[in-house]
Structure 1
Amino acid sequence: MLETSARLLRLLSLLQAHREWSGADLAERLGVTPRTVRRDVDRLRELGYPVNASPGTGGGYQLGAGAELPPLLLDDEEAVAVAVGLRTAAGQGIEGIGETSVRALAKLEQVLPGRLRRRVSALNAFTVPMLRTPSTQLDPAVLTELVNACRDSERLRFEYRDHGGVATRRTVEPHRLVCTERRWYLVAWDVDRADWRTFRVDRIEPKPPHGPRFPPREPPAEDLAAYVSRGISTGAYATEATIRLHVPLAEAATVVGPMDGVLEADGESTCLLRTGAASLDYLLFHVVMTGFEFEVIEPRTLDDRMRAIRDRIDRALHRAQEPSRA
């Protein structure tokens, strides 16, 4: 009986690898006959695991989706990764996810072997996350609705509030969701505007029914993360600039995040930063605060602002050196 139970767990672990197995391959892996494999598959089905079987020479067994979530088997590394992921999610800004993550983590840690529980506890005790807390909370139901529409290539209808709070109705063909350290964005083809658009998810209010389905389009860029970064850090502002930073790209990336601008390689010891801001002064402050040596490529008007600020600082320093007047 113990041998049979162990074999069932081994079979379940193989099926959870998300690939189709032939009966002969499973029999070889488990060291049993194909007939025993068929009996074990039937036992798994009796326990509620939906094991699909396709006949023929190209057929085999595959674990499918059922009406209820059956128990999952995780190896040591997977269990630790899930536990750490749940701890991280517990502190993030998706409404309802934090509490749910804590409950799931409690269940997982209850059944973790002692050696794994110590690993998870050590990671938690000796690491300090520096994660920005989002200023707005996301409804996980909205996030799920958007993900499903992307997956099913189904037109999406929603009300969208712009930066000023003005709401418009949109019909889009959703492509992908992109997550930055603080916000989620939907990249979609705007049907009425016949162009690609990026939407902040916390400003989206779905208005079902959705549909119909659509044939997927070519994405607006191969690197969607860079595409969204360019839109939210540069294209959204009236003032844009290209700055050459006198540090290698990898070093600049440790300071300049995706919401700050887009970095491009420019030789071994320099890189280009394309960024934007509400004004030249804000843009200059942002660049200076990186702490890197730099030069302005464009716009040239930024040079004039730097000279004006330099002169103002010089005057302030000169006044500070003057003897105080009684």
Structure 2
Amino acid sequence: MTRANTTKHLDRLEQLTAILKSEDALTSKMIAEELNISERTLFRDIGILRERGLPIEADKGRGGGIKLHRHWGVGRLSLESQEIIDLLISLAIAESMGPTLFMRNIDTVRQKLMASFSPKQKEKMHQLRKRIHVGEQASPDVLQSFSTKKQETKATIETLHHAFLFNRRLSIIYQDFYNQETQRDIEAHYLYLGFPVWYLLAWDYLRNDVRIFRYDRIKQADILPQEFTVRPLSDFHDILTKQNVRTL
């Protein structure tokens, strides 16, 4: 076997390991199709991984599949809540860029990252990705009023992200276009990026309606004890349409 073929085989074994770690039980046909190999080659690779000590299980019969033992967790990451959401946002932005020069392997990166998360973290990641959206670059009018020098403090960002992550109501001081400040109680349902400006798509109790808030205009944020249930995306349809947003 040539060096090129050996490298390709090792890459495939690594990808197979990531698939088995990051997904529920899959049939041999599904895995073989994803790797673009025959089922015979797949089982040969599985044999190699078993020889390396990976506890691969195969359930026979209808509905059965191939997977790693559920308690196998070598290489699992230990991430704080803030790190999870920061990583999620970064990955979501990278995916939205498409197959750029340095992002051609984004699917493999995502599989490896997901393989490193605990089952609880995986579920949280899946749910949060549905709540992050990316639109077109900010307009010249928005950029004119946006400055990195006016950006919110690190503490404010962490408060906003914590409330978003754990579905907690927020009390914020918001400065509008005319520099007038108002106190708002809001629910942070979705994040939206019109690069480089971040927004919260929220329910505003002051207006008793959905509203969009620019991050850099949130001067203070405090978490309230009340929790909320995420509203359906359809509630924000008019805002999303106006901002020309696409879901990640």
TM-score range, shorter chain: 0.3 to 0.5
| Structure whose alpha-carbon radius of gyration is higher | 1
